[in-house]
Amino acid sequence: MRKLILSSLLLSFASYGDVMVLDNGDISTSACAYGRGQAAITQAQNSAAAELSRFIKGNKTLEFGDDSESFESSLAQVYSNSRDTILEGLNSGRMQFTIGQPYLQGSDTCLVVAVNVKKSLSSSNTPDSLEWQDDSSTVTVTVIGEGWSKAGDSARQRAEQDALRRAISRVVGIYLSQNSVQSSQTIMQISNNEEHNALRDLMSQQMSSRSAGLVKSWQPLASKKLSKDGLQVTLQVVVEKSPLIAQSNDFLDQIGSPRVKVIADDNFEPILKTWLSEQGIETGSGASLQVIAKHKLRGPANSKRLSLTIEVRDLANNLYGKWDNDPSLVALPDSEHLLDDLTRVTFEMPEQLKTLQQAMSKAFINVVSQGGLVREIKIRSSYLSQPEKLHAVISTIGGVKDVAIFTKNKYLVASLRYPGDTRELALILQNSLAAISTPSFPNGQVIDDQTILFN
Amino acid sequence: MLKKILVSAIVTTLIVGCQSTGPSNQTNKVTVKNKASNASIAKSAYDFADDDITVPAYFDTQGLERCTFDIQKESDGCPLKKPIVRIYFDNNDVAGQGKGVEHLKEVNNLKLVQMLENQLAGLSRFRIITRDDQVIGQEQETYLAEQGASAYAKRAASQRILAPDFVVKIDTTKTVDTFYAQSSGVMDYTLEMTAAVIDPFTKEKMSHPNIGKIRVKSADVVKSKDELNVVIVSGRYYSGFNFADPQVVQAMMSDMASRGFDIFLTRMLSEMPATAQVLGIKGDRLSLDRGQNAGVLVDETMIVFQYEAGFVEPIGVATVTPSKQSASGKIVKWKNSKLADSIKKQAGSGIFRPGNGVKIFAVSVGTPANFLENRT
């Protein structure tokens, strides 16, 4: 048997502890750490690894002294050849150790850790995923699309459209994940996967209609028939980066820097306004969105808790997002400054602020995904020569969604969603409504961000 | 002669036959006593006879394999996981014909709750959420003032209030009677306690631990029974034990509750003994895999037993000293058995480590002998 216990041979290396070299090429040692559980296991593991590292650094060969039993020459050779690689692995923390089953010794947790000199180190890195390289003007992706013939389009056309949409979605995803979003608004910092996916889907959905400007070229790589006359195609798509960045930034500007009006109790208004401005959100009285804070104090006198709700609504009171704090986190005894204390603490809690930030971000994304804010167009009925065509005319305006017409007193009111500026909408309406109005049709007045009046 | 023997044999058979057809007799009739309860504590390991070395009830042979050792995220299968409880006393249930019934109703139960919380926490059988909101509120306010909102927020966000698994409810009945003699009366207070462990969501009252009923009488807590004498003139207190003074009554009830809690704790320790696995035996020295973390108390008397294929085999009795995560002990008396002899022999010539599916455990036999003296 060619097993050698080095500790018994190397008196000069007493500090190495019980390091053993086995015939199979394992250099192993055991180490203990006080305590129980993963923390103790990790500590013991680290001690053992450090012990092995010290041992290998201190011993260029596995042969010591003339009077010691010499190692199998092949093992000594392998060690000699791979020592540098092992040391490199140890230094970079990539060394693969064999970790034994932990066992208890009194209050300590112990384990055996071994490194094998025969096994070559796996230095191959995991294949890199697609990267957003700044020095290239395009990104090339390979995507699969599926389609079934419908409404005059062949299955191939629909599969290709699907693949192109997926290509844009994927590139948008890469852009979002590999660039901290190019927006000055920290509220748009993407913080989790779910939010990231929601935003990516929304952006690619918005951009897919303009895919022609984004896709530089594409070529089919493969195609496969699917059931019910469907087709699956694999395309290699080259996407232009600069228009995608420009469109993304426009989009992010729309949802990242809205102007809001804060409606809150005196205790909350200053702190909420400060926080919003830190997030790049402008506050002011003429805003189209409202951030409304409501609170309640609950609990017995010795432990009062704050329940705080913050809602994002438009002027028509449609709800876009809501955030509730976690009242269980803080409780303080009743006092004159109780509400102030609870508010200060709530706005100092990173986790709470993170959820608030996410709720706000989601609310602003909701505004865009629903087609913009709700506007009311009030037109004195007498100015319209063909009121029955009002719905059709307004529906043709680019970007307008969810049109509803109703009568209120002497006015015809059109309720609609529009993603752009209210003044811009007023100008467009002025031109569009000319065809169905009387010659005396007045100019539209923007009453507030929600209402345009033709009176 | 032979005829006599035959006759007597037939008579005996008949008698036995008659007996076997009668009702079985497995129970005894006893008188239900109304005496005050007493505490039982473990004998010192040095006082154990060979026959005493038997395995007590409720031992637990679960190892630590499933434990994460993270107190906040301990796995359900880990024996170190302790139920988180909040303690409640019921409303003042007062009975009796004695003087001062109305003052007995004024006894503050929250004080008793806090006293029990303190004592029960030390046993390490439960994790207890205090109901002392006043102190907690005061400290939180001071912490906020001294450390600032940011430090307070950081700590409050990282340390949530524990969520109780169960509530421990102590039901009490307080009784006062006054016995009249020629020149004076004698006050007699009784406190009866029962404890229930309740799942607050399923409303289930758990069967374990079964503490039973604890009865404490005022005569047990006074130095001299004369302290309970009272002189009543025209139906009103004149001298002696002042049943009309809320503070005097509160003090008496606190003393009684304190004694009741002592008994409560000793029963709890018998119902929920500490069990630990033996890692090794060297000579008569034991090494155990858990200590204070599993509720092993100082100078704990523990029975060491082998557990194999569902059978328990006592090996000896030990006195054990816990450290935070482990414990060490000394086998004071080995059981007179082949198994004990074999292990003793192996342990005599080195460290004996149980293996091959055989496990050795140590289980406490109840409240350590010096516990009441040093901890109550």
List the single residue in B67, B140, B325 with the smallest CB-CB distance to A331: B140
Judged by a CB distance cut-off of 8 A, whether residue B129 touches chain A is no
pLDDT confidence bin for A4, thresholds 50/70/90: very low
Determine what percent of chain A is predicted with pLDDT higher than 70. Answer: 78
Query: What is the nearest CA distance from B325 to chain A, expressed in angstroms?
Result: 5
For A163-174, what is each residue's pLDDT tens digit?
888 888 788 777
Which of A42, A43, A104 has the highest number of chain B CBs within 10 A, making it the mutation to test binding with B?
A104
Give me the sign of the Cα torsion angle B106, B109, B115, B119. positive
Domain match, B245 and B285 both: no
Average pLDDT over residues B211-224: 91
Dihedral, CA of residue A187, residue A192, residue A194 and residue A197, to nearest 10: 70
pLDDT at residue A12, rounded to an integer = 32
Contact A36 B69 (CB under 8 A): yes
From the list A67, A70, A71, A29, the residue with the least C-alpha distance to A50 is A29
Comparing CA positions, the residue from B109, B95, B98, B106 lying closest to residue B249 is B106
Nearest to B284 by CA among B322, B318, B246: B318
A37 shares contact with chain B (CB less than 8 Å): yes
Check residue A9 and give its pLDDT. 38
Q: What is the mean pLDDT of residues A333-353?
A: 91
Q: What pLDDT does residue A185 have?
A: 42
pLDDT of A90 over the 50 cut: yes
Residue A292: the pLDDT is 95
SS3 (DSSP) at B41: coil
Peptide bond into A220 cis (omega under 30): no
**Which residues in chain A have Cβ-Cβ distances shorter than 8 Å to B323?**
106-107
Question: Domain containing B313: what range?
Answer: 45-59+273-368
pLDDT in tens, B137-195: 999 999 999 999 999 999 988 888 999 999 999 988 889 998 887 778 899 999 999 99
- Which of the residue ranges A18-27, A385-394, B116-125, B188-197 would you say has the lowest mean pLDDT? A18-27
pLDDT for A177? 65
Domain stops at, among B271, B286, B319: B271
List chain B residues with CB under 8 Å of A351.
157
Contacts of A345 in chain B (CB under 8 A): 144, 149, 152-153, 156
CB contact under 8 A, A37 and B161: no
- Give A-chain residues touching B138 at CB under 8 angstroms: 333
With a CB cutoff of 8 Å and minimum separation 6, the contacts of A312 are A260, A289, A290, A291, A292, A319, A320, A321, A322, A359, A360, A363, A364
- Is residue B182 domain-shared with residue B290, that is, in the same domain? no
The answer on pLDDT for A117 being more than 90 is no
Q: Considering the domain boundaries, does residue B23 fall inside one?
A: no
Kindly report the pTM of this predicted structure.
Answer: 0.68
Tokens of A395: 């529906």
Residue B278 sits in the same domain as residue B254 = no
Residue pair B130/B117 in contact by the 8 Å Cβ criterion? yes
> What pLDDT does B162 receive?
92
Q: Which residue has the higher pLDDT, A126 or A424?
A: A424
Q: Are the Cβ atoms of A328 and B326 closer than 8 angstroms?
A: no
- Flag whether B119 is in a domain: yes
pLDDT at A123: 42
Question: Which are the contacts of A227, defined by CB distance < 8 A and separation ≥ 6?
Answer: none
- Chain B residues whose CB is inside 8 A of the A105 CB are 279, 287
Query: Which tens digits make up the pLDDT trace of B2-49?
Result: 556 555 655 555 555 445 556 678 888 888 877 888 888 999 999 999
Give pLDDT, residue A181. Answer: 46
Any domain includes B24: no
| Residue A127 predicted with pLDDT over 50 | no
Q: How far is B328 from chain A (nearest CA, A)?
A: 8
β-sheet with A319-324: strand ranges across: A282-283, A259-263, A289-298, A305-314, A319-324
Residue B290 located in a structural domain: yes
Domain-located, residue B86: yes
* pLDDT tens profile B61-112: 888 888 888 888 888 889 889 999 999 987 668 888 878 888 888 777 777 8
Which of B70, B150, B324 shows the shortest C-beta gap to A37? B70
Last residue of a domain, one of B271, B295, B327: B271
User: Tens digits of per-residue pLDDT, A359-374?
Assistant: 888 888 888 777 777 8
B281 shares its domain with B159: no
Q: Is residue B262 part of a domain?
A: yes
- The number of distinct structural domains making up chain B is 2
Q: What pLDDT sits at residue A20?
A: 82
Could you say which of B249, B271, B293 is where a domain stops? B271
* One domain, residues B175 and B228: yes
Mean pLDDT of A17-27: 78
Question: Which value, in Å, is the radius of gyration of the alpha carbons in chain A?
Answer: 34
- Check whether residue B266 and residue B358 sit in a common domain: no
pLDDT digits (tens, 9 = 90+) for B296-351: 999 999 999 999 888 999 999 999 999 999 999 999 999 999 999 999 999 999 99
Interface test with B, best of A107, A329, A347 (most B CBs within 10 A): A107
Which pLDDT score, from 0 to 100, does residue A125 have? 41
> Which of B150, B156, B328 is closest, CB to CB, to A329?
B156
ipTM tops 0.95: no
CB pairs under 8 A between A and B: 85
CATH number at residue B116: 3.30.160
On whether residue B375 sits in a domain, the answer given is no
Confidence band, pLDDT 50/70/90 cuts, at residue A260: confident
pLDDT in tens, A173-212: 777 666 544 443 434 444 455 556 666 667 766 666 556 6
Whether B251 and B151 share a structural domain: yes
Higher pLDDT residue, A260 or A293?
Answer: A293
B162 with B177, same domain: the answer is yes
Same-domain pairing of B144 and B278: no
**A254 band by pLDDT with thresholds 50, 70 and 90:** low
Question: Residues B104, B175: one domain?
Answer: yes
Query: Which residues in chain B (285-324) have CB-CB distances under 8 A to chain A?
Result: 287, 289, 291, 293, 323-324
Radius of gyration of chain B (CA): 27
What pLDDT, on a 0 to 100 scale, did the predictor assign at position A63?
A: 54
Which residues on neighbouring strands pair with residue A31, listed in sequence order? A111
Are both B208 and B317 inside the same structural domain?
A: no
Kindly state whether residue B303 falls inside one of the protein's structural domains: yes
**Same domain membership, residue B256 and residue B121:** yes
Distance, CA of B271 to CA of B364 (rounded, Å): 10
- Under a CB-based contact definition with an 8 Å cutoff, are residues A273 and A302 in contact? no
Task: Kindly list the residues from chain B whose CB atom is less than 8 angstroms away from the CB atom of residue A331.
Answer: 137, 140
DSSP single-letter state for residue A399? T
pLDDT greater than 90 at residue B273: yes
Buried b (16+ CB within 10 A) or exposed e, A157-193: ebbbebbbbbbbbbbbbbbbeeeebebebebbebeee
pLDDT of B115 strictly over 90: no
Q: Indicate the average pLDDT of chain A.
A: 78
Q: Which of A328, A329, A333 sits opposite B137 (nearest CB)?
A: A333
Q: β-strands B94-95, B166-180: how paired? A: parallel
